[in-house]
Amino acid sequence: MAYRAGRHFLQIPGPSPVPDRISRAIDAAVIDHRGPDFADLGKSVLSGMQRIFKTKSPVVIYPSSGTGAWEACLANVLTAGDQVVFYETGQFATLWKQMADRLGIETEFLAGDWRHGVDANRIEERLRQDTAHAIKAVCCVHHETSCGITSDIASVRQAIDATGHPALLLVDSISGLGSVDYEHDGWGADVTVSGSQKGLMMPPGLGFNALSERAIEVAKRGGSKRSYWDWEEMLVSNATGYFPYTPATTLLYGLKEAIAMLEEEGLDNVFARHLRLAEACRQAVAAWGLEIVCQNPAEHSNVLTGIMMPDGHDADAVRRMILERFDMSLGTGLGKLKGRAFRIGHLGDFNELTLMGTLSGVEMGLGLAGVPHKAGGVEAAMQVLMR
């Protein structure tokens, strides 16, 4: 294969590009995970992730994908036969629900159209019907990667509290954490699931469970049979900076650097940067005359923008054209959006010029693929960024 000059543009909604600082940190020598130096590393990343999640309660770090963190969440607080309500916001809400089905959990799916976020009123209505309190948990995706939708998790907690229902609130913020505001304590989540490969700018390989004190107590009394995913053993070891089994040491080096980078910029500044770049991207889509997947502007993602294709045009053909001609990867449409939409990732270590290069590649690709659109999307984004 011939050499291609310049860098590959990885503009999928995660894994996001890994900054050089993090790559260099990961490249450090492995140390004794039972030695005194490791305790300093362990305490640093565990307390740092509490700050990123905005919680005073423990955060558990697994050598796993986000899928493993999903299973850890379910295994610690639920058991086969428990009734759980999931809200359908897209492909990842669907996959989490399917995992629960395979674990023997009795799931109920509040159907959605993949173009709107969680409707807290529907959750409140369903919980009011459950006078026997058979429902053990409500599961929601904070940031739905497949569609570019951000849901209001605080409103879901308010809906649960308004009914007086004891259901736990379990939240997936795998693609939102570190890019858009998330408040584990402030929004009343009992467990929040996340992963390393999105806003944390890390390679895949670390999964997270942020806990509440109530979730910890529920896990002590019940949950499923578990070993690797058990919180209790992790929390005992974590108290002194260690892990109950061999941790992903080099990824923890990278995580320490990622936390430092986010805090050097300041979380509020990180969120503002993502908002500004996302608004510029959305203006480009509007100028092209194309449609954003998420139909509620209040729920638009600042992590990615999903773009619907006009009827008769294959989104994957557009992606393939852009990859072949301009060496840029864009996110495919997933599930119900397969072939109908593609996704532009604008998260993590991402700035104005990265966005302009990305949008230029998309605009050229739309033209080469014969997708009906208006010119001027790149110029519209530039106007936003120059303001």
List, for residues 117-145, the tens digit of each pLDDT value: 999 999 999 999 999 999 999 999 999 99
- Distance set, CA 231 to CA 188, 243, 256 (Å): 19, 11, 22
Residue 115 identity: R
Query: What's residue 243's pLDDT?
Result: 98
Query: What's residue 3's pLDDT?
Result: 87
Residues of the chain with CATH 3.40.640.10: 20-263
CA 347 to chain centre: 11
Tokens representing residue 386 in the block: 């120059």
Over the stretch 209-237, which tens digit does the pLDDT of each residue have? 999 999 999 999 999 999 999 999 999 99
Report, as ranges of residue numbers, the positions in the chain whose pLDDT lies below 70.
1
Quote the pTM value. 0.97
Residue given tokens 């300093």 in the structure block: 40
Query: What's residue 1's pLDDT?
Result: 66
341-345 β-sheet, strand order: 9-11, 328-332, 341-345, 304-308, 291-292
DSSP summary character for residue 180: S
Residues of the chain with CATH 3.90.1150.10: 9-16+266-386
- Decide if domain 20-263 falls under CATH 3.20.20.210: no
Give me the CATH topology for the region 9-16+266-386: Aspartate Aminotransferase, domain 1 (3.90.1150)
Query: What's residue 2's pLDDT?
Result: 81
Over the stretch 35-72, which tens digit does the pLDDT of each residue have? 999 999 999 999 999 999 999 999 999 999 999 999 99
